[in-house]
Structure 1
């Protein structure tokens, strides 16, 4: 088997790395970057921190702060206009997965035109694109290191997976100090998102030795640190470990693909405006239980990495211990069911067939150890509701 591995050209990792944004940009030949972020990053002062670092480094930087959670096709128009107005030669995505995904989409649209629905999977997108420098402020999406972006079609609420090297950032700045103000709920949801990335990459039918190494490192670190950082957001060691694990998990799934959890998660987010990490967490226990029989040895290794099984534990028992562990983890992190989150059962049931078809159309379920039918997916949606 030959594995094709793609990574950002440059990673700058460590406390205070964000202050080196100008050096990273200059190394890439950038002179007129546009900082793409959201209003919270402006209010919190983080956007100014980055802008000041860029300007002090001699760069002509401008700000676009109109990104929205779970970006939509309608939300991109203002960003394309801002790029043209500033004559930007690069984009810097600052924030969680949504601003970074927005920057990736804008980087392609500003060069190729058209609409994002023209670029959704299974189309593989290359270039030309503006270079993107990603600066994550959460420990979860891994978008800073992936060749994917997810944009919701405003016309029909479909969360469109868009793939290809055109969406891979040229560089990423990984500074865990930017995550220290994350509230507990966001810490939990983004942390489970990273865990899903790592587990799915490891059990994916497209897994390879390189992605395996990244996935297992991430799983081990998340197992040791997610509960810690949820309990104490000021635990710097745990914050740093989770930030690195998020990056490793992103690298893993970018080079191996996600599976059924993400396939089912995107329709929940698109149709019910549930945060991506939270919808993953809602699905993690049930989808794991559904899938373990297809790759018992792989799920057993995940259990061992999480510390809930030993080398002496038989794979069959270890894989079941994993189901118990992810169930307990979601309970410890107070992950709500869709019903507890306030979603109407009537609307959930009505949209379940549509969501099942959207999940299958994304392609991700085909990478699952047990490839589901539409009926299987509908049953899983029914199971997790309450």
Structure 2
């Protein structure tokens, strides 16, 4: 693919190409706002990206505030603090800057700020709440596709589970896909976020909620990610690889928004909640095992995945083999015993995975005993 600048209108606006982040002030004013509230994580400033955004906003004479209080697996309390600060700052567009955690947190912060008195722990009730502030999403990883939808996954530390917080009003109105922002991404983060995008594509193909539209997005996503992830992992400065990864992750996000995900994410959420394992690493730990379990009910979907990955013959076994090869090339798969998942905690992780809402979309529905067996196989 030739790297190019692309603007797509209709529904959410997408700006794609090197350097498009410079247009951020224009994107904010296009939403009818003259001020920006930037939500980002605690470590991104060291990369220079936060400073680059601040410089663009300041050069346009735009008033802004930067909220840098988002952790790797954002918790409900972080969203409550961010919402209080946004209410104090006042009317503004929310600029979500960072990886999936920052984007998810920004959605929750925007929604909570527009609904005074609400708490992030009350996420289930907020789906019918009032509107949040408009969002501009600026992802700095190629993985979650969080810029495509209006929900986020955050951790309720008291209940020790993941909760889904969202509303149609906090679906980003503008997605700014600038591959230059991912050039400095470490190889291990490139691998973990890239596998997340690959899983989004594969699970979307096999989801009970799949449709011709989600299949089209997911197939192209799997094609792009499977080809370019190993390249971006080997050479993080390859702008063409970074651009194709960012586009692939975005398309995978569009796919999952339509179709839903499945058991890999159900287990991944539970593993992260119980062990603190980075999301993409948790997914990689069980991807092959879940695909093997699901294959009897997902043969056609996995044949499609095999075609997208260039695997021969086009079969579920070939798709699983291709996934194994990609995970090996980017050195991301690790046994659960190395991720802090004590054997005694596996039954609780299995129960949480079965209870996770995404699991209901999986092609072959498991019970807790089946998930426990998968976890033991990945141990």
TM range (shorter): over 0.9
1:82 counterpart residue number:
85
Matches within 5 A, 1:14-29: 14-29=17-32
Alignment match, 1:376: 370
Shift of residue 39, structure 1, vs aligned partner: 2.7
Distance (whole Å) between structure 2 residues aligned to residue 370 and residue 342 of structure 1? 26
Distance in 2 between the 1:151 and 1:382 partners? 26
The range that moved more, 245-254 or 226-235, is: 226-235
What are the within-5 Å matches in structure 2 for residues 274-285 of structure 1? 274-285=277-288
Helix, strand or coil for the counterpart of 2:231? helix
Matched, 1:180 2:180: no
* Aligned partner (choices 204, 208, 217) of residue 211 of structure 2: 208
296-305 or 153-162, which moves further after superposition? 153-162
Change (3 A) 1:158 1:183: same
What is the aligned partner in structure 2 of residue 10 from structure 1? 13
- What does 1:36-51 align with in structure 2 at a 5 Å threshold? 36-51=39-54
User: Are 2:355 and 1:361 aligned?
Assistant: yes
CA drift at 1:234: 1.3
Q: Tell whether 2:119 aligns with 1:115.
A: yes
CA apart distance, 1:44? 2.2
Determine whether 1:227 maps to 2:230. Answer: yes
For normalisation by structure 1, the TM-score amounts to: 0.91
Q: Aligned residue for 1:4? A: none
Residues 1:107 and 1:377: Cα distance change in structure 2 (over 3 Å) = same
2:136 to 127, 133, 137: 133
The 1-side partners of 2:263 and 2:235 are apart by 31
Q: How does 1:132-281 map to 2 (within 5 A)?
A: 132-281=135-284
Deviation of 1:164 (Å): 4.3
In the superposition, relative to structure 1, how do residues 169 and 368 fare at CA in structure 2: closer, same or farther (>3 Å)? same
1:344 Cα deviation (Å)? 5.1
Number of residue pairs the alignment of both structures matches: 369
How much has 1:245 moved relative to structure 2?
0.3
Deviations 1:72-126 (A, max 9, x none): 01222321222022114221110101111110110111112422232249x7456
Deviates more, 1:64-73 or 1:354-363: 354-363
On the 8 A contact 1:126/1:165 being kept in 2, the answer is no
Residues 313-371 of structure 1 deviation map (CA, whole Å, 9 limit, x = unaligned): 4x6xx1111111112222222224244635153xxx33222222222222211111111
* Structure 1 contact 149–167 (Cα < 8 Å) conserved: no
User: What is the Cα deviation at residue 185 of structure 1?
Assistant: 0.3
Partner of 2:3: none
2:290 equivalent in structure 1:
287
Tell me what 2:340 maps to.
343
* Counterparts of 2:54 and 2:79, CA distance in 1: 21
Task: Supply the distance in 1 between the matched residues of 2:221 and 2:372 (Cα, whole angstroms).
Answer: 30
Q: Which runs of 5+ in 1 are unaligned?
A: 1-6
Whether the aligned pair in 2 keeps the contact of 1:161 and 1:362 (CA below 8 Å) is: no
Equivalent in the alignment of 2:4: none
Inter-CA distance 339–212: structure 2 relative to 1 (3 Å threshold): closer
Which of 53, 56, 59 aligns to 1:56? It is 59
1:122-177 per-residue CA deviation (whole Å, 9 max, x = no partner) reads: x7456411111110000001111123201101213212133542442121100000
Contact 1:125-1:167 within 8 A present in 2 as well? no
8 Å contact from structure 1 (residues 32, 88) kept in 2? yes
Return the alpha-carbon distance in structure 2 between the equivalents of residues 131 and 88 of structure 1. 10
Question: Which region of structure 1 is more displaced relative to structure 2, 143-152 or 336-345?
Answer: 336-345
Query: Structure 1, residues 186-209: CA drift from partner, whole Å, max 9, x if none?
Result: 000100000001111111111111
Structure 2 vs 1, CA of residues 125 and 383 (structure 1 numbering), >3 Å: closer, same or farther?
farther
Normalised by the length of structure 2, the TM-score is: 0.93
Question: Residues 98-113 of structure 1 correspond to what in structure 2 (within 5 A)?
Answer: 98-112=101-115, 113=117
Q: Could you say what the CA RMSD is over the residues aligned between the two structures, in angstroms?
A: 1.8
Residue pair 1:126, 1:166 contacting (<8 A) in 2 also: no
Map Cα deviations across residues 278-328 of structure 1 (whole Å, 9 max, x no partner): 11111111111111110211110110110012xxx4x6xx11111111122
